[in-house]
Amino acid sequence: MNQDLRALMAPRSVAVVGATERAGASAGYVMRNLIGMGYAGQIFPVHPRETSVFGYKASPSISALDETPDCVVIGIGAAHVAGVLDEAGRRGTRAAVVLASGFGEVGEAGAALEAELTETARRHGMALCGPNCLGLVSLGNGAALYSSTLDPAIKRGRMALISASGASAIALGHSGRVGVSALVSIGNAPVTGLGDYLRWFAQDPETDVIGLVIEGIRNPASIASAMEAVHAAGKTALALRVGRSAEGQRATAAHTGALAGAAEAQAAFLARIGIVDLPDMDSFIEAGVLCSHGKRPRAGSVAVVGVSGGGVAHVTDIASEVGLHLATLAPDTVDRLRSLLPGFATPQNPLDVTGAAFADPGVYRGALDALDADPGVVMTIAAQDAPPGLSPDIAAEYAGIAGAVAGYGGETPVIAMSNLSAGVHADVAVAYGNATRLQGTRATLTAIARCQEADQHVTWHEAVMGGEPLDAAPGPISEAAARAIFEHIGLSGPIGEVATTADEAAALAERIGGKVAMKIASPDIAHKTEAGSVALGVEGADAAAATFNRIMASAAAYAPGARLDGVLVQEMVTGGVEVLLGLVQHAPFGLGLVVGAGGTLTELMQDAAFDLLPIDAERADAMIGRTRLAKLLAGMRGAPAADRQALVEAIVALSQFGERHGRSIEAVDLNPVAVLPDGQGVRLLDALILRD
Amino acid sequence: MNQDLRALMAPRSVAVVGATERAGASAGYVMRNLIGMGYAGQIFPVHPRETSVFGYKASPSISALDETPDCVVIGIGAAHVAGVLDEAGRRGTRAAVVLASGFGEVGEAGAALEAELTETARRHGMALCGPNCLGLVSLGNGAALYSSTLDPAIKRGRMALISASGASAIALGHSGRVGVSALVSIGNAPVTGLGDYLRWFAQDPETDVIGLVIEGIRNPASIASAMEAVHAAGKTALALRVGRSAEGQRATAAHTGALAGAAEAQAAFLARIGIVDLPDMDSFIEAGVLCSHGKRPRAGSVAVVGVSGGGVAHVTDIASEVGLHLATLAPDTVDRLRSLLPGFATPQNPLDVTGAAFADPGVYRGALDALDADPGVVMTIAAQDAPPGLSPDIAAEYAGIAGAVAGYGGETPVIAMSNLSAGVHADVAVAYGNATRLQGTRATLTAIARCQEADQHVTWHEAVMGGEPLDAAPGPISEAAARAIFEHIGLSGPIGEVATTADEAAALAERIGGKVAMKIASPDIAHKTEAGSVALGVEGADAAAATFNRIMASAAAYAPGARLDGVLVQEMVTGGVEVLLGLVQHAPFGLGLVVGAGGTLTELMQDAAFDLLPIDAERADAMIGRTRLAKLLAGMRGAPAADRQALVEAIVALSQFGERHGRSIEAVDLNPVAVLPDGQGVRLLDALILRD
């Protein structure tokens, strides 16, 4: 669905159903806002009894209007909404805002009303903001279809806010920090969703940054395709996910689920499509200011310049905590700074230009120029406190530095940052002119670091989730069947077979030779170690026969009634690094893949990388690099390096498997996969498939 | 040294050496500040050529003064400072402020000047602020011995700031958020240090909160004893450590050092003595506001109340990230809230009282009262946005809520919090009256959580670091000798002896029986696994003899020239959880102790707890609880529970060992210590002692 939101965001005429001058009525707020914000289009109040509302002639119904309105704002109770919407749709109205609550958010009766509303809007091809929302306002044209008080003096700028939470939209829209082009309270959004709004703002000439306050993601395909338009337009989308801690870990029999919950899946989705994921309101606001003033920061290392050793040391501390990388300066830069700065200053990054910059702002300017010329610096942060409580004469001392930042004309972006979120003295703010000026060390550096990460977006397509059935009998999948499936895609295990009697086990152990591993074969026992039904290093026929009997007894005691197919007797694989590979279904994104330390380390280390499918070799390698597993694979404490390349190939094969069978899989645990020494590949030692 | 800072912080008369009206001179700033801040004591300008400075009669020297000044501010170059200080000291002046730089911070010549200065001050028993500082100002008495511009309108309040960084003192002192009672720029502080200032402010009636900006800790004993006075006075000390990321990991042959660097040692020290450790300027400021208004928050669970579902969900997210615990409400509280709130609201924590509170602030008040009565709630956070950019008429809608918070009279502290660091609308701020009002979700919740942690302080004494020599021959300590030392304190290893020939190894293996572990015995090889000189599970005399030869050859190849005492042959300890215990020297705090996963997991997991000595059983158990080791010990995946009590005893024994020999030890690695199943104790499998 590729909706045209023109009639919603830039209507030529608006009917306001329920319009009244009575205080407290939501449609009354809409009337006041349209008038107060200087809406230039036509306004048609609709009310069964009023004849005139705020001086505008009122009509008793949509049908009774002389003209067809582009958009209708429906400010009446939930039960009556669908009828009015249908009336408007039949006249040819292209868009509606439904303010009332009492729909999908309040149980079954409300859900039925919402379904009716949705069907009506779809039937007429209407865009629909709400229900259960505050409405929206486009500041450029004054279309304030908005039911909370609005100030015409609201700080205007280049950021559109789209919020699942009405109160958050109010808070963020009125921070006084970031200027806004539009506010949208999306409500339940069964018709017009995040993707539709993103697509609108991608082409809106008044918007550079789109800020999303997200409580859940329902239509990832629409959002992903809209983001391609956002990127193509050179714009930036920011997200603040609220309620992410409530997204509990997924309860599942597979370990993979415990390692990657719904919040991780959302984060992986946003990262993949290049939406900047911010952890709190402050960093969201600072990212909005940052990207409103120019392009999104490029990935790379930054330089920090200040006039106080303590100040720049504080910046270094926080940069290291939020993962922002400080550049190592080029030798040329160091030489240039050395000749510029007083002898007692050290030409390094972060750079303390010392109090010399107060006496001569040319020193500060020179430092910015030197850093500009350094090819390893993608952005310079002028870390300068000049707090609001200074006296005007002290504040004046900072004007030279602020002027140097304001007048800087280099290629490398320079931003000014105050360590305090309380910001800078008003006089100093004026001296900064049009320079980008951010507040709060942690909020600012977090905003920059997260924006840089979003520089590496790709995209995501729903199509990757195929539904090809698994090549196995219906019902639960035994370990042996699961291993056969993976053998098919190149993930082989050790040689082995299932013995159904002690004698068979003895014969198998003899045939395989050396030490063997033995474990229960049962479709009903997922965690074999807990069931006491795994034995490693069994040597010789007699021991194998005895172990067979012990394992069968132990499994029967652990899970009475479980189907016991026998005991798998297989070649012992020793050495190598044990890894967990897994797939886990995370609606609405489809399958994600987990890589982490395997075997008994899985739960202990809680150190795994997660990404959504599809995963190619480059992403697979990057996932390994995000875990401490990388260190294990490189060969710790004298161990040989493991076959990382083979692990990358196994991840890619598992991703392709998931893409093919996606919709029929709930989770897959391959744990452990032994990654043998370099050149010797991987061995799948255990496999679990949970069907959807 | 227990200095009396009265003459420094509340002098009855001040001589200003170098006083002039010339712009830019530091002593001129001091004169202007003393006059501007209304200093009531006597002011004596001292200058070789001036006769009058700002209307005060000037004298050519300290000796030429009619009276002895309580305090002297020395605003002249480094080379001449000690002479003036001596002159003042001889007259009986009790305190001095030295502004000039050019001392310890600039190399050898400066260090010599600083040593002379220190000796002079000590000889005369003078308190000394600086050198290399901005000086200090006590706002109550106007003693502005301070060389940067000061605004008489600076926000006054109950927080004293003591800063190693002059610029940070300026920034934090003028944030406009927290009112200050005093600013101290301590400079190099060779005479009067953090502990002395803490002791002063502990008894200063104008100060409730003492904020420290720390670049390093030099005299922990003085600080620890001063903190006892701070706690006794019911006051709070806050710290912001700048430059902590530069405190690199300690390079040492022991694993323990890599697990706990200097920054961890500082943090452990602050935690132990109850100084609240804040991670950034914003949380430092908010903690200052919080503790200026009342007592430091008690440890325990908090309640959150708001009028927006999205808003309280955001608070929950950040609380979970910063480790602030939300209370589970008592059944009575739930009942009370249910009868108070509209039917669609859910009586839970965090509590969304819904928009009903706008219409009737009594609802909000009622919610605060209900939470007040809940025994599980130690503090209630009223999370309410009312951003600065609102129009006055919208802001007025929030006045009812702000009034409910302002008028709240319960026992449980209630604080108001805005999610935005940009704060609240000025009208709303007025409506909050004297209520404690914090800004920024992350800064606020971090401040509360860190304050709560400091509630559990104990203390620290230098005396715990004894210097009793180790019971071993001089020079490097062999593993066998190290193990003998620990056997002495109850940490026994498996049975075993060092074989010096292959035949001896064979005989030992036979005597011990079953499988044995074999490893090189050499004082020169710290990491035996890397040297290929460990063999596990060796069975039988022939295998032991062959392994002896292989290990000796391998060790000789790995470390040519190393002294090889033979091969240790010992009982194989299987099962149990492998733990690392270690000691590491962290000047100036003495030894710290590390507990973490052992064996090959040590480096991989990078998951260890650190604390300074002494460690009793309760702290030992808490340390285990801070690591994922706790999970391993409890018995993961069907493994039996391990003997945690025995591990606690081992930690306490190691702590006592460290207290006895502290000054002669550089580091100790006991890795691994096998913690056997419950009731079976621990076995020390490997030990390394590095002497200081």
| B398-427 confidence digits (pLDDT tens) | 888 999 999 998 999 999 999 999 899 999
Name, in order, each residue with C-beta under 8 angstroms of A258's C-beta and a sequence gap of 6 or more. Answer: A249, A250, A252, A603
| Residue-level pLDDT at A512 | 86
- What value does the mean pLDDT of chain B take? 90
| Residue-level pLDDT at B440 | 96
Lowest pLDDT segment from A302-306, A447-451, B275-279, B523-527: B523-527
Nearest to A253 by CA among A630, A525, A520, A562: A525
Quick check: A175 and B420 CB within 8 A? yes
Classified as helix, coil or strand, B188 is: coil
Model confidence pLDDT, tens digit, residues A609-652: 999 999 999 999 999 999 888 888 988 767 789 999 999 999 99
Residues of A in contact with B631 (CB under 8 A): 603-604
Angle of helix A541-558 versus helix A502-512 axis, rounded to 10: 130
**Contact, B659 vs B585, CB < 8 A?**
no
Q: Which residue in B280, B313, B441 is closest to A281 by CB distance?
A: B441
Quick check: A604 and B530 CB within 8 A? no
Model confidence pLDDT, tens digit, residues A278-289: 999 999 999 999
Quick check: A174 and B597 CB within 8 A? no
Is pLDDT above 60 for B463?
no
ipTM of the complex: 0.86
A333 min Cα distance to partner chain B (Å): 22
Residue A595 to residue A627: CA distance in whole angstroms: 8
| Residue-level pLDDT at B512 | 86
| Residue-level pLDDT at B253 | 47
Q: In Å, how far are B234, B453, B613, B655 from B458, measured between CA atoms? A: 15, 12, 12, 16
Q: Where is pLDDT greater, at A248 or B632?
A: B632
Lowest pLDDT segment from A254-263, A284-293, B570-579: A254-263
Instruction: Look up residue B300 and give its DSSP letter.
Output: S
**Contact, A14 vs A42, CB < 8 A?**
yes
Quick check: A310 and B632 CB within 8 A? no
Q: To the nearest 10°, report the CA torsion of B202, B205, B211, B217.
A: -30
Model confidence pLDDT, tens digit, residues A455-478: 877 777 765 667 777 777 667 777
Considering chain B, what percentage of its residues have pLDDT values greater than 90? 64
Q: Where is pLDDT greater, at B470 or A282?
A: A282
Residue A422 to residue B647: CA distance in whole angstroms: 48
Nearest to A529 by CA among B319, B688, B636, B474: B636
Lowest pLDDT segment from B556-570, B594-608, B660-674: B594-608
| Residue-level pLDDT at B691 | 84
Q: Is B317 on the interface with A (CB under 8 A)?
A: yes
Q: Where is pLDDT greater, at A303 or A149?
A: A303
Q: Is B640 on the interface with A (CB under 8 A)?
A: no
Query: Which of B146, B155, B174 is the best residue to mutate to test the A interface, defined by the most A CB atoms within 10 Å of its own CB?
Result: B174
A656 min Cα distance to partner chain B (Å): 30
Q: Where is pLDDT greater, at B2 or A25?
A: A25
Quick check: B310 and A387 CB within 8 A? no
With cut-offs at 50, 70 and 90, classify the pLDDT of residue B216: confident
| Residue-level pLDDT at A254 | 54
Read out DSSP for B232-287? HTT-EEEEEETTGGGSPPPP-SSHHHHHS-HHHHHHHHHHHHT-EEESSHHHHHHH
Run of H or E including B210 = strand B209-214
Residue A569 to residue A548: CA distance in whole angstroms: 9
> What residue in B sits closest to A633 (Cα-Cα)?
B604
Please give the structure tokens belonging to residue B474.
Answer: 């001089």
Burial (CB count within 10 angstroms: exposed 0-12, middle 13-18, buried 19+), residue A146: buried
Provide the chain A residues 396-415 that lie in CB contact (below 8 A) with chain B. Answer: 397
Residue B371 to residue B385: CA distance in whole angstroms: 20
Lowest pLDDT segment from A488-497, A659-668, B423-432: A488-497
Residues of B in contact with A394 (CB under 8 A): 148-149, 151, 170, 174
| Residue-level pLDDT at B259 | 67
Provide the chain B residues 453-512 that lie in CB contact (below 8 A) with chain A. Answer: none
Taken in order A425, A429, A435, A439, is the CA torsion positive or negative? positive
Lowest pLDDT segment from A5-14, B53-62, B463-472: B463-472
| Residue-level pLDDT at B3 | 67
B15 min Cα distance to partner chain A (Å): 25
Quick check: A309 and B165 CB within 8 A? yes
Q: Where is pLDDT greater, at B51 or B559?
A: B51
Name, in order, each residue with C-beta under 8 angstroms of B384's C-beta and a sequence gap of 6 or more. Answer: B306, B307, B311, B398, B401, B402, B405, B416, B417, B418, B424
Is pLDDT above 60 for B2?
no
Read out DSSP for A200-243? HHHH-TT-SEEEEEES----HHHHHHHHHHHHHTT-EEEEEETT
How crowded is residue A631: how many other Cβ atoms within 10 Å of its Cβ? 12
> What residue in A sits closest to B634 (Cα-Cα)?
A604
A42 min Cα distance to partner chain B (Å): 26
Residues of B in contact with A419 (CB under 8 A): 171, 280-281
Considering chain A, what percentage of its residues have pLDDT values greater than 70? 96
Rounded to the nearest angstrom, the gap between the alpha carbon of residue A551 and the centroid of all alpha carbons in its chain is 46
| Residue-level pLDDT at A248 | 43
Which residues partner with B690 through β-bridges? Answer: B667
Q: Read off the amino acid at residue A241.
A: R
Quick check: B530 and A637 CB within 8 A? yes
With cut-offs at 50, 70 and 90, classify the pLDDT of residue B249: very low
Mean pLDDT of A196-212: 97
| Residue-level pLDDT at B149 | 84
Residue B313 to residue A247: CA distance in whole angstroms: 11
Provide the chain B residues 575-604 that lie in CB contact (below 8 A) with chain A. Answer: 597, 600-601, 603-604
Mean pLDDT of B218-234: 94
What region does B289 belong to: left with phi over 0, alpha with psi -120 to 50, or beta? Answer: alpha
B592 min Cα distance to partner chain A (Å): 23
| Residue-level pLDDT at A262 | 83
Is pLDDT above 90 for A167?
no
> What residue in A sits closest to B604 (Cα-Cα)?
A628
Please give the structure tokens belonging to residue A344.
Answer: 């007692």
With cut-offs at 50, 70 and 90, classify the pLDDT of residue A258: low
**Contact, A663 vs B553, CB < 8 A?**
no
Is pLDDT above 70 for B208?
yes
Model confidence pLDDT, tens digit, residues B491-517: 888 878 899 999 999 999 998 888 888
How crowded is residue A193: how many other Cβ atoms within 10 Å of its Cβ? 21
Quick check: B155 and A242 CB within 8 A? no
Q: Which residue in A171, A174, A385 is closest to B419 by CB distance?
A: A171
Q: Which residue in B163, B311, B637 is closest to A530 by CB distance?
A: B637
Q: What is the pTM for the complete model shown? A: 0.89
Q: Number of A to B CB contacts under 8 A, please give it.
A: 275
Nearest to B18 by CA among B120, B145, B149: B145
Residue A241 to residue A161: CA distance in whole angstroms: 13
Please give the structure tokens belonging to residue B275.
Answer: 């100084």
| Residue-level pLDDT at A251 | 40
Mean pLDDT of B330-355: 92
Quick check: A388 and B279 CB within 8 A? no
Q: Which residue in A423, A603, A636 is closest to B604 by CB distance?
A: A636
Model confidence pLDDT, tens digit, residues A580-602: 999 998 888 989 999 998 876 77
Nearest to B283 by CA among B382, B202, B177: B177
With cut-offs at 50, 70 and 90, classify the pLDDT of residue A24: confident
A258 min Cα distance to partner chain B (Å): 15
Residues of B in contact with A603 (CB under 8 A): 631, 636-637
Nearest to B161 by CA among B186, B182, B130, B134: B182
| Residue-level pLDDT at B400 | 87
Q: Read off the amino acid at residue B522.
A: S
Model confidence pLDDT, tens digit, residues A322-369: 999 999 999 999 999 999 998 888 899 999 998 888 888 899 999 999
Model confidence pLDDT, tens digit, residues B435-461: 999 999 999 999 999 999 988 777 777
Residue A591 to residue A612: CA distance in whole angstroms: 6
Please give the structure tokens belonging to residue A182.
Answer: 């539009």
Quick check: A387 and B174 CB within 8 A? yes
| Residue-level pLDDT at A104 | 92
B405 min Cα distance to partner chain A (Å): 19
| Sheet strands (E) in A67-194 | 71-74, 95-98, 127-129, 135-138, 143-146, 156-163, 180-185
| Residue-level pLDDT at A1 | 44
| Residue-level pLDDT at A223 | 96
| Residue-level pLDDT at B462 | 66
Instruction: Look up residue A489 and give its DSSP letter.
Output: T
Lowest pLDDT segment from A293-302, B172-181, B499-508: A293-302
| Residue-level pLDDT at B464 | 63
With cut-offs at 50, 70 and 90, classify the pLDDT of residue A489: confident
Residues of A in contact with B438 (CB under 8 A): none
With cut-offs at 50, 70 and 90, classify the pLDDT of residue B652: very high
Q: Which residue in B170, B313, B600 is closest to A246 by CB distance?
A: B313
Query: Which of A155, A282, A360 is the best residue to mutate to test the B interface, defined by the most B CB atoms within 10 Å of its own CB?
Result: A282
Q: Is A25 on the interface with B (CB under 8 A)?
A: no
| Residue-level pLDDT at B468 | 79
Name, in order, each residue with C-beta under 8 angstroms of A619's C-beta and a sequence gap of 6 or more. Answer: A611
